[in-house]
Structure 1
Amino acid sequence: MLKNRLKVILAERNMAHGDFAKAVNVSRNTVSMWVTGKSTPTLEDAFGIAEFFGVSITDIWYKETQKSPPQ
């Protein structure tokens, strides 16, 4: 699930929500909502997150469960 994966990535990189928010051009509140699972990023934001971290969208959405994305 994105919220869990995002928490892990931010922790691994020792990155605060505010710093990440600035980097992907959203508010800190938006990042907080993503991390808590209260909302999910738009497709555009999801691509921005993946690009920022240098990973694919599937790595962010599916890596935690190690399941393949739906076909």
Structure 2
Amino acid sequence: MPRRKTSRMSARECLAGQMRELRLKIGISQEKLAEAAGLHRTYIGGIERAERNVSIDNIEKIAVALGVDVVQLLSPIGASVEGD
């Protein structure tokens, strides 16, 4: 079944964009993020390209490694997250 085109970003795309933006903001490589989260570098790259279906456990590991809440990782870039 073909995917419907919508203007809304998928959760996977939000995660990819937020993760990359936050990683670059703190100035670490995909390899350093992977090491901090206990994940493989190529897995991190796949997430940032929105190619991977990520478990909630791994989203939490990435959030901790980036020093943010899980909610922030799943929010569209530029969206206000309560508590900011």
TM class by smaller structure: 0.7 to 0.9
5, 11, 14: which one pairs with 2:24?
A: 11
Identity of aligned residues (%): 12
TM-score, with structure 1 as normaliser: 0.83
Structure 1 counterpart of 2:19, one-letter code: L
Q: CA deviation at 1:65?
A: 5.2
Report which stretch shifted further, 20-29 or 48-57.
Answer: 48-57
Gaps in structure 1 of 5+ consecutive residues: none
Structure 1 counterpart of 2:58, one-letter code: D
Give a deviation string over 1:4-37, Cα, whole Å, max 9, x none. 1111011101110111101101110000000011
Runs of 4+ with >6 A deviation? none
Contact 2:37 2:64 in 1 (8 A): no
Structure 2 counterpart of 1:20, one-letter code: L
67, 73, 78: which one pairs with 1:54?
A: 67
Q: What is the root-mean-square deviation of aligned Cα atoms in Å?
A: 1.8
Task: Determine which structure has more spread, i.e. the larger CA radius of gyration.
Answer: 2
Aligned to 2:79: 66
Q: Which has the higher helix share?
A: 1
Structure 1 position 29 matched with structure 2 position 39: no
Count of residue pairs the alignment pairs up:
68
TM-score, with structure 2 as normaliser: 0.71
